[in-house]
Chain A
Amino acid sequence: MLSITLSLLPAGIINGLMFGAIYALVALGLTLIYGVLHIINFAHGAMLMLALYSAYFLFKVLNIDPYVSILIVTPASYVFGYTIYRWGIGKLSGGRDQNILLITLGLSIILENSALFFFTGDQQTISLPYSYESFDLGFLYLSYPKLISFVASLIICVLLWMLMTLTDLGKAIRAVAKEREGARLVGIDVEHVFAVTFGIGVACLGAAGCMLLPIFYVDPYTGNIFVIIAFTIVVLGGMGSIVGALLGGFIIGVTESVGGLLLGESLGQIGISLIFILILIFKPTGIFGSKV
């Protein structure tokens, strides 16, 4: 029995890394918004759910492959995020953080219940022609959807890292995260930078939604499953850290997968909570502190 489990261990780890990459994307959006705007976006799960439904309907109605939809849903999510911050959250909150929290919470309730009303509570899945085709690594078969998701997530993380370190916009985002008044004085439009950051955070969800659809299901509450995991990742990796989100995503993905292998699907989740508690006790700032 034990030897069978051990022989499955490499497969479990690889499988965890695949899922971890998508977790990382969801966490990346959360950590970026937290790191710069210093608020928790309570509508994060609802926005992920919207992305999943967008990819779902693009597939059902227009027959667009979800991986191709990444190119549509990601920019659309950015525009949605930017707009909703610039002319919604930013304006309504009057610049007070506690108002932003309430507004994002309210937004999540509206989005989830609208989804429930229009799309019903049924779980929807899609099946791609290549869903069950896989790539033989010798010791395991790697399904194409998971492999594509993994590579695409890594590419997005690298692109985001390049944006943040190499461009003026990225530097401005990092500057605003720590010193808003100083940023205003060099002529950075802080409200614009907030909206851009919020947009990028939501765009991460857009990409994540497209990648999740082929390997998961969608209903009005799907998003929340991932956001709870994403919170753990953000705390683990360090609030506001991009590298932390990526690493945290992998750690949590592998923990969940290997935990499931050793202890069974439901008991395996215990590993995630355990990591969360240990991090809070021994390194509350997370692996990478509070760097953006």
Chain B
Amino acid sequence: MIKINALYAGYDLVNVLRDVNIEISEREIVAVLGSNGVGKTTLNNTLSGLIKPTSGEIYFEDVLISGRDPVEIVDMGLIHVPEGRKLFPNLSVKENLELGSYRRGKPNRSKNLERILEIFPKLRDRISQTAGTLSGGEQQMVAIGRGLMSEPRILLLDEPSLGLSPLLVEQMFNLIKQINEGGLSVILVEQNVIQSLSIADRAYVISEGTVSLSGCANELRENSDLKKSYLGL
């Protein structure tokens, strides 16, 4: 579904990513793991078109999307739920969710909104509150909800567990699994290695800007290198 081919990308002539190759198939959850500063967010921003790659290609169902504008990429159905949520703090929860369907227009809006409020019942009570006043967990729900309002075919989640309490982290991962089982492909970019591997089908580990390890989630869970570098075992 997504094919990333020899990707180099970065900011101001410095390549953060070097020769990254990643593939994601239909209905998969693929985890992209790595600690702070290895280039995970750069990878996401390149996928969603916020930054243009220096070289290499990204294909979305055989269509070249690298170098395209975010608007076109949203139209194709690749939706990036960014780290730090990037909600519109001055707008109400409802308006935030509605803007998720900015490119889709009004036809399915109320139906999708209802579906998202069923997934996140808590947001129903907050619907007219401004997003800036919500708790971290609620904001994360709005961010994912806003992404789902775009009727994505593939959801790119950047650190969805960041800043959430352990209990909420657990819920968030269950929810991602649930969304995936509804038929959506998910790219899960995370620092939380254990939880991510528990729901992912496959995973890539990024270190120093390139893929250092990849494979099935089950195998990676037993991998001694990974245990050493991320779990301290």
| A and B bind | yes
The SS class assigned to the B binding surface is: loop
Which A158-200 residues have a C-beta within 8 angstroms of B? 168, 171-172, 174-175, 177-179, 181-189
Which residues of B approach A to under 8 Å, CB–CB?
48-50, 69-71, 74-75, 79-82, 85-91, 95, 98-100, 102-103, 146, 150
The minimal Cβ–Cβ distance linking A110 to chain B, given in whole angstroms, is: 32
Distance, CA A179 to CA B100, complexed state (A): 14
Residues of B near A172 (CB, < 8 A) are 99, 102
Assess whether A291 is interfacial by the CB under 8 Å rule.
yes
Assess whether A254 is interfacial by the CB under 8 Å rule.
no
The minimal Cβ–Cβ distance linking A141 to chain B, given in whole angstroms, is: 44
Chain A residues bordering chain B, tally (CB within 8 A): 19
When A168-B98, A171-B99 are in contact, do A185 and B88 touch as well, CB less than 8 Å?
no
| From A177, A179, A187, A292, contact of B70 by CB (8 A) | A187
Distance, CA A233 to CA B29, complexed state (A): 54
When A171-B99, A172-B102, A184-B50 are in contact, do A189 and B88 touch as well, CB less than 8 Å?
no
CB–CB A186/B102 < 8 A:
yes
Residues of B near A291 (CB, < 8 A) are 90
Which residues of A approach B to under 8 Å, CB–CB?
168, 171-172, 174-175, 177-179, 181-189, 291-292
A/B interface sample: 30 pairs, CB < 8 A:
A168-B98, A168-B99, A168-B102, A171-B91, A172-B99, A174-B95, A177-B90, A179-B86, A179-B87, A179-B88, A179-B89, A182-B85, A182-B87, A182-B88, A183-B99, A184-B71, A185-B48, A185-B79, A185-B81, A185-B82, A186-B74, A186-B99, A186-B102, A187-B75, A187-B103, A187-B150, A188-B71, A188-B99, A188-B102, A189-B71
Residues of A near B91 (CB, < 8 A) are 171, 174-175, 178
The minimal Cβ–Cβ distance linking A246 to chain B, given in whole angstroms, is: 19
